[in-house]
């Protein structure tokens, strides 16, 4: 009993860092994050060998695929940040890891942009 209390106290102080991802992030959210990352990967794989043709054709193809991949990664980032914060990880830490100002991340999460 005393060991469990120490573990619970340590988890509360650690801000969710002692909890398990699968136990705290809903399966649907984990699936959506994986799906977004996989879609981004597919977009990037399609760029292999896209270096022949006119400059405009190659640039258009590269930029369209890179832009789509970046959008998918941004969505995955927001979903992951939302799951982490909801699981008790400090917003300040999540913001640092995602390279976003804490205020900006808080605003994005408040707007529910992690929802599709």
Give how far Cα 109 sits from Cα of 29, 86, 88, 92, Å: 14, 10, 14, 13
pLDDT tens per residue, range 46-86: 888 888 889 999 999 999 999 999 999 999 999 999 999 99
Whether pTM > 0.85 for this model: the answer is: no
Distance from C-alpha of 83 to C-alpha of 89, rounded to nearest angstrom: 9
> Measured in Å, how far apart are the chain's first and last C-alpha atoms?
43
Give the DSSP per-residue string, 26-94.
-HHHHHHHHHHHHHHHHHHHTTTT---S-HHHHHHHHHHHHHHHHHHHHHHHHHHHHHHHHTT--HHHH
pLDDT tens per residue, range 101-113: 999 999 988 887 5
Mean pLDDT of 11-34: 80
């Amino acid at each position: 009993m005393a060991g469990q209390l120490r573990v619970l106290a340590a988890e509360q102080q650690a801000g969710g860092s002692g909890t398990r991802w699968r136990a705290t992030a809903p399966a649907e959210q984990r699936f959506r994050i994986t799906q977004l990352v996989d879609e981004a990967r597919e977009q990037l794989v399609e760029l292999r060998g896209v270096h022949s043709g006119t400059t405009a054709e190659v640039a258009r193809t590269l930029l369209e695929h890179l832009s789509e991949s970046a959008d998918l990664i941004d969505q995955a980032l927001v979903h992951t940040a939302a799951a982490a914060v909801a699981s008790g990880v400090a917003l300040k830490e999540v913001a640092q890891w995602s390279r976003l100002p804490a205020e900006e991340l808080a605003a994005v999460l408040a707007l529910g942009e992690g929802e599709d």
